[in-house]
Amino acid sequence: MRGLMMDEPLTLAAILERASRYFPHIEIVSLRPDGTLSRIEYGALAKRVRRLARALQEAGLARGDRVATLMWNHSAHVETYFAAPLAGGIVHPLNLRLHPDEIAYISGHAEDRFLIVDDVLWPVYERFRDKTRFERVWVVPFSGMRTPPGAESYETLLAHSSEDFEFPEIDENDAAGMCFTSGTTGRSKGVVYSHRSLVLHSMAECMTDCLGISQSDTVLSLAPMFHVNSWGLPYTCPMAGAKLLLPGCGCSAEDLLDVMEEEGVTIACGVPTIWLGVLDALHKNPDGWKFRGPVRVLIGGAAPPQSLIRELDRFGLRVIHAWGMTETSPLATVGRLKESMREWKDDRKYETRSKQGYAVPLIRLRLMRPEGEAPWDDATPGELEVRGPWIAASYYNAPEAANRWSPDGWFRTGDIATIDPEGYVKILDRSKDMIKSGGEWISSVDLENALMAHPAVREAAVIAIPDEKWQERPLAVVVLRDGEHVEPAELEKFLSTRFAKWQIPDGFVFTKEIPRTSVGKFLKSQLREQYRDWHAPSESSKEE
Amino acid sequence: MRGLMMDEPLTLAAILERASRYFPHIEIVSLRPDGTLSRIEYGALAKRVRRLARALQEAGLARGDRVATLMWNHSAHVETYFAAPLAGGIVHPLNLRLHPDEIAYISGHAEDRFLIVDDVLWPVYERFRDKTRFERVWVVPFSGMRTPPGAESYETLLAHSSEDFEFPEIDENDAAGMCFTSGTTGRSKGVVYSHRSLVLHSMAECMTDCLGISQSDTVLSLAPMFHVNSWGLPYTCPMAGAKLLLPGCGCSAEDLLDVMEEEGVTIACGVPTIWLGVLDALHKNPDGWKFRGPVRVLIGGAAPPQSLIRELDRFGLRVIHAWGMTETSPLATVGRLKESMREWKDDRKYETRSKQGYAVPLIRLRLMRPEGEAPWDDATPGELEVRGPWIAASYYNAPEAANRWSPDGWFRTGDIATIDPEGYVKILDRSKDMIKSGGEWISSVDLENALMAHPAVREAAVIAIPDEKWQERPLAVVVLRDGEHVEPAELEKFLSTRFAKWQIPDGFVFTKEIPRTSVGKFLKSQLREQYRDWHAPSESSKEE
């Protein structure tokens, strides 16, 4: 027997309509390249979305056609986020930080038909345009430049369109958006989100124990909109009626702190490296910024060192550690403490908060080992597998990657993790970053986080170095804080309070900067290449 | 093009599994008939649910079969809430406060196959058992009585079953639960909830701007579980990992306050009449109870008088006014203030908070008049219509009621309302309770709420009295607080500051008690019957 409830599809139209009806005067604030702010309210945004959706259909957009974007985080990008899927198409944000050849490959693989590009990114587009075949390219005057010769103007497109447009009926399982993983091995793979998955994910982000996004929030969304939809926030904020602050094309930690203070940010979301920079700025100028109230800092994309959580707390920035991937939309786990942990000692609380957390509603996890499912004992590592209604079931046109799903349909994350009896996941490493030394595994992430707790250390990456005897040995690549100096022996001693001797890196090399991926994570493949031939100094040379 | 996301059905299994995995030691606390508390943790509950589901299948439960309950609010009722639908059947709580003939009619109409009944309700069952044909009847030892002769024991059923049971695969659109409206006109109608609608509704209840139910909450669920699933809370609390407190079979306002204090309740949910009683108890003993922190009081089922909201605030009980119906699962609107209203004057805030609020995500509203849609101008009344994924699309086997849905598929609530430009609904009346006087409409709800703001008035119901000249005229039926006395002329004067002369009731009659429906609302049909022949005292008799 079927339920007798309305068959209402979960589509992005419900989000946009709610924002414009109940929160017409709530703003999206965009930071422009010249440092000024531009503002648009949800009411006005919804009208521009209708104009754009109509214009896209008039340009020939058919069901399922891809509209690519090459854009920073700002309100016109949000317009495309809604207009392409609500016109029946798919929005496909291109990762502008990739190599031009890779961007061209991705766009070709996705069969993008149209492109919307920021004026400041036109030079990036020019580096791969010969390898693409967009039918139309529209340029957004993000910095206010003149439209380049041969390009069409986004604003003219909207001006010639009309907001008198009814969105077509859409099935909730229709594709709405596409994001490619920035895989460090092999070709990028496309994840195709549905209207249903995006709506459910936004509901989850509004749940109190997840992110708790509400109409009282001002959300600073630092994750790029070409990286897992900026963690879904450009959809979640309009659903909740939250003010959305978009940081444009990169700004300093001081700029971020300024805008957080001025605009009354209540939750700011970004990868740990951003917050390491912010912490540095706060240390230099501890009384420089006053926030109106408590600020939640959502950290994802990589594990924050425990020291980062502790120190941001001291400045009134309360870290929420969450975990997810492009394939998980991304919200899969949140590292909030449970009520029953309220009376725990601080150390234990911080240790738990620095884990990835437990699954949000509707998401299921398991740890797999060759011999079967691993227990949740905080000790037995296994590969983390995940399933749920906003988890990818396959990549776009990539049958060769079918082995990323288990025979019974779980997504294999490629992360090696333990889970404790309370259900908190601790990711030890990407399986490829795990250091295999003499039959034992060493977690590079554990060593990095321990090193970053040292007062002189700003950043640390630990990589595997080939070793004849042990197969692999760890090497630490360390960036010191300005003006600090420390000897390798001191770091060795610092680690020895927590790690067994065989787990401690064979060496510590100091550098000015650690190379990063396009989304700000440590680019360990480059480090491994760079230090491939590194050898531990001999005992005699140590003595010198 | 379809999205490439997992096709994970939204079913109640996800809720139960999450509760037992992440919150195994969070309790459901039930108040037993003798006033003692019994406790069960989600981990243990999930095992008993598996036992019950298996036992139901072994008893012959087939897909879609109905399992009726005749039970108060306690943990065994929650077990059936999960076990029946997760065994592939449908849970159907019977409204034990209805007339035995009506219960028998409803149970027959629903084609209930099995019954689970509280021992203390066996006498109720005996009054209609001859008119029903349950195949098996199990008795729950809620008070600890011996199982009546001829009945089977619920505990024996579970003891002979096993928790080794895999839930069958379930389509999210399959029926999971059934509740009948307690319509005051015509026969009761059955609403059939699906797994999908219940899961989405629970997600909405966890959203910060809706009820914000979280794992930090202790929820006191006072709405009967036979009335719109106790507002969905027996599903929402396990999803969130919230502690759930079930009040058993009715207790005094003092008992409720005691248990709220002792168990650390953070949110308590019930109809206004319960809170009028609680307020009375607080007035009598203002220092009698100390709560651990702020307590949210969710009021629904009828509009709370503004004075109730104000006074509960004074005692640290912060009212959230929400609106819904059996047909809306029920959560449809919540009367929280928007951030932009924070600086408003208190009076304006209370006026807005006493409205029904604006639609929660995914729910849409409109006001209909004969000539078409009414504007949201806070002035033009129309019938409130609603649609969304947890709104009923039809009643069970009741083609005669098809006119409760508009030709384009909206549910007609039967409520006459206005909506203000911010989107806040104000329900003026059930269309049948509206007083039609000389071509104008008078809202009985407005008059009642104004009267209940008078310090001597405990409760007031305003009904329409037939009138030759004006067609109908209002009559106020008033219950005074203990020891208070007031003259009709004073109430007339009290109302005249807010109402036009023609809107003021023709008379005020004083009574000890206002009759109520089975869910605690004023039973106006009985009052109308009782006072049908009431006549205003003549001018001369007034003078006397």
Q: Give the residue-averaged pLDDT of A273-283.
A: 91
Q: Tell me if A214 and B209 make a contact (CB, 8 A cut-off).
A: yes
Residue of A nearest to B394 (CA): A4
One-letter amino acid for residue A331 of the chain: L
- A-facing residues of B in 217-256 (CB < 8 A) are 239-241
Cα–Cα distance measured from residue B483 to residue B34, given in angstroms and rounded to the nearest whole number: 31
Query: Is the confidence at residue B281, as pLDDT, over 90?
Result: yes
Catalytically annotated residues of A: 181, 327, 436, 441
Q: How confident is the model at residue A266 (pLDDT cuts 50, 70, 90)?
A: very high
- The shortest CB-CB distance from B209 to any of A90, A240, A423 is to A240
Q: Is the dihedral angle over the CA atoms B378, B379, B385, B391 positive or is it negative?
A: positive
Q: Is the CB of residue A391 less than 8 Å from the CB of residue A403?
A: no
A192 touches chain B (CB under 8 A): yes
Q: What is the DSSP letter of A2?
A: B
Query: Is the confidence at residue B541, as pLDDT, over 70?
Result: no
- The share of chain A scoring above pLDDT 90, in percent, equals 77
B17 touches chain A (CB under 8 A): yes
B209 touches chain A (CB under 8 A): yes
H runs (alpha helix) in B11-132: 12-22, 42-58, 75-86, 100-110, 122-126
- The shortest CB-CB distance from B8 to any of A15, A340, A389 is to A389
Q: Tell me if B1 and A90 make a contact (CB, 8 A cut-off).
A: yes
Q: Is the CB of residue A394 less than 8 Å from the CB of residue A189?
A: no
pLDDT at B439: 64
A201 touches chain B (CB under 8 A): no
Q: Tell me if B197 and A5 make a contact (CB, 8 A cut-off).
A: yes
Cα–Cα distance measured from residue B498 to residue B449, given in angstroms and rounded to the nearest whole number: 12
Query: How confident is the model over A286-344, as pLDDT tens digits?
Result: 999 999 888 999 999 888 889 999 999 999 999 999 999 999 999 999 999 999 999 99
Query: How confident is the model over A124-175, as pLDDT tens digits?
Result: 999 999 999 999 999 999 999 889 988 899 999 999 999 999 999 999 999 9
Residue B346's Cβ-count burial label (10 Å; 0-12, 13-18, 19+) is: exposed
Q: Is the CB of residue B320 less than 8 Å from the CB of residue B217?
A: no
Q: Which residues of B touch A362 (CB under 8 A)?
A: 8, 10, 14, 199, 203
Question: CB under 8 Å to B295, separation ≥6 — which residues?
Answer: B260, B265, B266, B267, B268, B316, B317, B318
Query: Is the confidence at residue A439, as pLDDT, over 80?
Result: no
- A-facing residues of B in 459-478 (CB < 8 A) are none
Q: What is the DSSP letter of A271?
A: -
Cα–Cα distance measured from residue A209 to residue B236, given in angstroms and rounded to the nearest whole number: 13
- The shortest CB-CB distance from B174 to any of A3, A90, A176 is to A3
Q: How confident is the model at residue A263 (pLDDT cuts 50, 70, 90)?
A: very high
Q: Tell me if B6 and A338 make a contact (CB, 8 A cut-off).
A: no
Cα–Cα distance measured from residue A197 to residue B154, given in angstroms and rounded to the nearest whole number: 41
Q: How confident is the model at residue B212 (pLDDT cuts 50, 70, 90)?
A: very high
Measure B208 CA to nearest chain A CA, in Å. Answer: 5
pLDDT at B463: 93
Q: How many CB atoms lie within 10 A of CB B544?
A: 6
Q: Which residues of A touch B339 (CB under 8 A)?
A: 215-216
B375 touches chain A (CB under 8 A): no
Q: Which residues of B touch A328 (CB under 8 A)?
A: none
Q: Which residues of B touch A263 (CB under 8 A)?
A: none
Within B330-454, strands assigned E span 333-334, 358-359, 364-369, 372-373, 382-387, 411-419, 425-430, 435-437, 440-442
A290 touches chain B (CB under 8 A): no
pLDDT at B542: 40
Q: Which residues of A touch B213 (CB under 8 A)?
A: 208
Determine the longest span between alpha carbons in chain B, in angstroms. Answer: 82
Give the mutation candidate from A209, A329, A356 for the B interface (greatest B CB count, under 10 A). Answer: A209
Give the residue from A264, A259, A319, A313 showing the smallest Cα distance to A293: A264
Q: How confident is the model at residue B538 (pLDDT cuts 50, 70, 90)?
A: low
Q: How confident is the model at residue A544 (pLDDT cuts 50, 70, 90)?
A: very low
- The shortest CB-CB distance from B207 to any of A2, A207, A390 is to A207
Q: Tell me if A203 and B203 make a contact (CB, 8 A cut-off).
A: yes
Q: Give the residue-averaged pLDDT of A443-458.
A: 89
Better-predicted residue by pLDDT, A468 or B234: B234
Q: Which residues of B touch A213 (CB under 8 A)?
A: 208
Q: Tell me if B14 and A197 make a contact (CB, 8 A cut-off).
A: no
Query: Is the confidence at residue A517, as pLDDT, over 90?
Result: no
pLDDT at B36: 93
Q: Tell me if A392 and B215 make a contact (CB, 8 A cut-off).
A: no
Residue A539, strand partner residues: none
Q: Is the CB of residue A240 less than 8 Å from the CB of residue B336?
A: no
Q: Tell me if A194 and B3 make a contact (CB, 8 A cut-off).
A: yes
Query: How confident is the model over A227-253, as pLDDT tens digits?
Result: 999 999 999 999 999 999 999 776 889
Q: How many CB atoms lie within 10 A of CB A64?
A: 15
- The shortest CB-CB distance from B4 to any of A214, A216, A393 is to A393
Query: Is the confidence at residue A543, as pLDDT, over 70?
Result: no
- B-facing residues of A in 21-40 (CB < 8 A) are 21-23, 25
Query: How confident is the model over A180-229, as pLDDT tens digits?
Result: 986 555 678 999 999 999 999 999 999 999 999 999 999 999 999 999 99
* Domains of chain A: residue spans and CATH: 7-20+39-208 (3.40.50.12780), 433-540 (3.30.300.30)
Q: Tell me if B25 and A215 make a contact (CB, 8 A cut-off).
A: no
For every residue of A185-241, DSSP letters joined together read SSS--EEEEEHHHHHHHHHHHHBTTTT---TT-EEEE-S-TTSHHHHTHHHHHHHHT
Give ∠ CA A346-A350-A352 in degrees, rounded to 5: 120
Token pair 């997600």 is found at B203
Q: How many CB atoms lie within 10 A of CB A159?
A: 11
Q: Tell me if B90 and A1 make a contact (CB, 8 A cut-off).
A: yes
Q: Give the residue-averaged pLDDT of B209-220.
A: 97
Measure B150 CA to nearest chain A CA, in Å. Answer: 31
Cα–Cα distance measured from residue A138 to residue A161, given in angstroms and rounded to the nearest whole number: 14
Mean of the per-residue pLDDT values for chain A?
A: 92
| Cis before A168 (ω within 30) | no
Better-predicted residue by pLDDT, B44 or B444: B44
Cα–Cα distance measured from residue A215 to residue A279, given in angstroms and rounded to the nearest whole number: 28
Task: Tell me the two tokens of residue A62.
Answer: 């058919």
Q: Tell me if A361 and B18 make a contact (CB, 8 A cut-off).
A: yes
Task: Tell me the two tokens of residue B28.
Answer: 């459901």
Better-predicted residue by pLDDT, B223 or B370: B223
Query: Is the confidence at residue B287, as pLDDT, over 70?
Result: yes
Q: How confident is the model at residue B543 (pLDDT cuts 50, 70, 90)?
A: very low
Give the residue from A117, A47, A112, A118 showing the smallest Cα distance to A86: A47
Q: Give the residue-averaged pLDDT of B286-297.
A: 93
pLDDT at A251: 80
A166 touches chain B (CB under 8 A): no
pLDDT at A434: 77
Q: Are strands B90-93 and B66-70 parallel, antiparallel or unpaired?
A: parallel
One-letter amino acid for residue A535 of the chain: H
A195 touches chain B (CB under 8 A): yes
Query: Is the confidence at residue A538, as pLDDT, over 70?
Result: no
Mean of the per-residue pLDDT values for chain B?
A: 92
Give the residue from A121, A115, A62, A78 showing the smallest Cα distance to A97: A121
Give ∠ CA B181-B11-B237 in degrees, rounded to 5: 70
CA A447 distance to own-chain centroid: 23
B432 touches chain A (CB under 8 A): no
